[in-house]
């Protein structure tokens, strides 16, 4: 099989035009993605600072439910990008339609992670054996460097497996095989294109995150178009029973003088399915876009998951906020309630007088834990916040009377 190539500028230009013409549509999609990932981000933030404040049921119920919804929306987002590449205008509810490939997508993801991570696992086992038998200077760095290169190659080789599962509705094994054949001869181009896309998204993130509303949809649509183009250049896919539409770049379709060129998609791109007519480059005849092949969302299938997903997202956000709100509240007034009036220090059994009570290390008074008793101060902890207070003399009766 010869080398395959695609034009970086052409696919990025197509993605930019699609994003620009459907900007508000993509803003809504990205806002939904953000709201769905918000509970997980809140839990991660609380776990990093106050892990004891996270109820156990959150880790076993809300987190898996959030992950399932994120997978469903991820499938829908790929369907949206593929629909734009096919010259269709997808509906917003496409974002929640994943019934026909959800479990295949999960299985493909597990196999993909296992394959990509296998070099790292092998490197860890190899370095363990090397250190157990003999020591070779810098051998572990070399082994993990080689494993990293292999992981990058494998991730590129099978990068289109999810597209085949969603687009062609095939199983995980055939999807991995199809991706392997599609990326053959184009791995270096895909590697460079991936770095370019990462830099573009980084630039968008540096623009106060707002830039991601421009760069992320552009990159995703461009990547879907790369999948379309490379799959059409892979006749070996017919062995797996996969028939791909013919996608090619063509000049603008001329129109009547004084009018705008007729296009159903952004400039420079012509998508031709089996029932589409081939554009005539010599005479510049119009392109017929009539076809019976349409995405499922265009045919108007019912979407029974949408109400359930909306209710689940609302429930997740409400329960997460209710359960984690006490952990996010400050405890500025807690140190003021503690009054250390004496310290009886000894290395074996120190004690202190706090709020008129004799306490030892580990005791809890007014929901405040005595962490450590030093010679001149006492260390307290409450709601994950630690502070120290020095011993003070108790107010005398005369001062109390004068007050």
* Same domain? 241 vs 386: no
pLDDT in tens, 118-173: 999 998 888 887 776 666 666 778 888 999 999 999 999 999 999 999 999 999 99
Tokens 């202190």 correspond to 352
85 sits in the region (left: phi over 0; alpha: psi -120 to 50; else beta) called alpha
* Residue 208 domain flag: yes
Domain boundary (293, 325, 357) is at 325
* Residue 356 domain flag: yes
* Same domain? 344 vs 236: no
C-alpha 179/C-alpha 175 separation (Å) is 6
Percentages helix, strand, coil for the chain (3-state, rounded to 5) are 55, 10, 35
Report pLDDT for 391. 80
* Same domain? 121 vs 164: yes
* Same domain? 246 vs 341: no
Residue 62 tokens read as: 């809300």
* Residue 284 domain flag: no
Range with lowest mean pLDDT among 192-196, 213-217, 227-231, 297-301: 297-301
- Over residues 355-369, the mean pLDDT reads 85
List the one residue out of 22, 35, 30, 11 whose CA is nearest residue 91.
22
Name residues whose C-beta falls within 8 Å of residue 298's C-beta, 6 or more positions apart in sequence. 83, 88, 89, 90, 91
pLDDT in tens, 383-401: 778 888 888 765 555 544 4
* Residue 36 domain flag: yes
| Predicted confidence band of residue 34 (pLDDT cuts 50, 70, 90) | confident
* Residue 289 domain flag: no
Report pLDDT for 390. 83
Q: What is the CATH number of the domain that holds 339?
A: 2.30.30.830
* N-to-C CA span, the chain: 94
* Same domain? 121 vs 206: yes
* Same domain? 306 vs 347: no
344-362 in b/e form (b: 16+ CB < 10 A) is: eeeeeebbbbbeeeebeee
pLDDT in tens, 233-285: 988 888 888 876 555 444 343 344 444 444 444 444 444 443 333 334 344 43
pLDDT, the chain, mean: 76
Domain boundary (266, 293, 325) is at 325
C-alpha 310/C-alpha 329 separation (Å) is 28
Higher pLDDT: 372 or 253? It is: 372
* Same domain? 198 vs 270: yes
Is a pLDDT exceeding 80 seen at residue 26? yes
* Same domain? 246 vs 308: yes
- Over residues 64-79, the mean pLDDT reads 87
* Residue 381 domain flag: yes
Q: Is 362 in contact with 369 (CB distance < 8 Å)?
A: yes
* Residue 295 domain flag: no
Our count of domains for the chain comes to 2
Residue 210 tokens read as: 């707002």
Range with lowest mean pLDDT among 49-53, 80-84, 232-236, 279-283: 279-283
* Same domain? 27 vs 152: yes
| Predicted confidence band of residue 191 (pLDDT cuts 50, 70, 90) | very high
Sign of the torsion angle spanned by Cα atoms 6, 7, 12, 18: negative
388 membership: H or E segment, kind and range = strand 385-390
383 sits in the region (left: phi over 0; alpha: psi -120 to 50; else beta) called left
List the domain range (segments joined by +) for residue 167: 8-275+302-325
* Same domain? 196 vs 310: yes
User: Could you tell me the CA-to-CA distances from 146 to 127, 138, 248 in Å, in that order?
Assistant: 12, 13, 37
* Same domain? 120 vs 51: yes
| Predicted confidence band of residue 209 (pLDDT cuts 50, 70, 90) | confident
Q: Is 153 in contact with 191 (CB distance < 8 Å)?
A: no
Report pLDDT for 253. 37
Chain centre to alpha carbon of residue 5: 28
* Same domain? 142 vs 171: yes
Roughly what angle, to the nearest 10 degrees, separates helices 161-168 and 172-183? 120
Domain boundary (292, 325, 358) is at 325
* Residue 293 domain flag: no
Range with lowest mean pLDDT among 281-295, 322-336, 363-377: 281-295
């Amino acid at each position: 099989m010869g080398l395959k190539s695609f034009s970086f500028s052409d696919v990025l230009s197509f993605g930019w035009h699609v994003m620009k013409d459907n900007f508000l549509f993509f803003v809504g999609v990205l806002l939904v993605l953000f709201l769905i990932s918000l509970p997980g981000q809140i839990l991660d933030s609380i776990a990093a600072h106050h892990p004891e404040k996270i109820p156990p049921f959150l880790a076993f119920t809300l987190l898996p439910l959030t992950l399932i919804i994120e997978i469903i929306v991820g499938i829908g987002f790929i369907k949206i990008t593929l629909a734009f590449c096919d010259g269709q205008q997808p509906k917003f509810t496409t974002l929640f339609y994943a019934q026909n490939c959800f479990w295949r997508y999960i299985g493909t993801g597990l196999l993909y992670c296992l394959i990509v991570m296998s070099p790292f696992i092998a490197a860890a086992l190899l370095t363990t054996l090397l250190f157990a038998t003999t020591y070779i200077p810098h051998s572990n760095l070399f082994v993990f460097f080689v494993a990293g290169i292999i992981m990058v190659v494998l991730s590129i080789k099978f990068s289109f497996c999810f597209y085949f599962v969603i687009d062609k509705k095939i199983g995980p094994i055939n999807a991995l095989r199809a991706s392997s054949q599609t990326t053959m001869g184009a791995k270096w181009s895909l590697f460079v294109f991936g770095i370019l896309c990462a830099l573009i998204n980084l630039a968008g993130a540096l623009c106060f995150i707002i830039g991601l509303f421009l760069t992320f949809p552009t990159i995703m649509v461009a990547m879907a178009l790369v999948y379309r183009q490379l799959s059409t250049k892979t006749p070996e896919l017919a062995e797996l029973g996969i028939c791909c539409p013919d996608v090619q770049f063509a000049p603008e379709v001329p129109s009547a003088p004084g009018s705008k060129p007729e296009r159903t998609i952004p400039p420079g791109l012509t998508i031709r399915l089996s029932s589409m007519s081939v554009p005539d480059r010599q005479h510049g005849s119009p392109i017929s876009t009539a076809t019976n092949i349409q995405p499922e969302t265009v045919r108007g299938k019912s979407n029974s998951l949408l109400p359930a997903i909306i209710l689940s997202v609302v429930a997740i956000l409400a329960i997460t906020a209710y359960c984690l709100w006490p952990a996010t509240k400050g405890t500025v007034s807690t140190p003021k309630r503690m009054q250390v009036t004496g310290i009886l220090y000894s290395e074996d059994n120190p004690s202190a007088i706090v709020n008129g009570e004799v306490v030892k290390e580990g005791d809890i008074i007014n929901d405040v834990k005595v962490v450590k008793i030093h010679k001149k101060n006492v260390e307290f902890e409450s709601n994950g916040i630690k502070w120290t207070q020095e011993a003070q003399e108790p107010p005398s009766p005369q001062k109390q009377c004068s007050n």
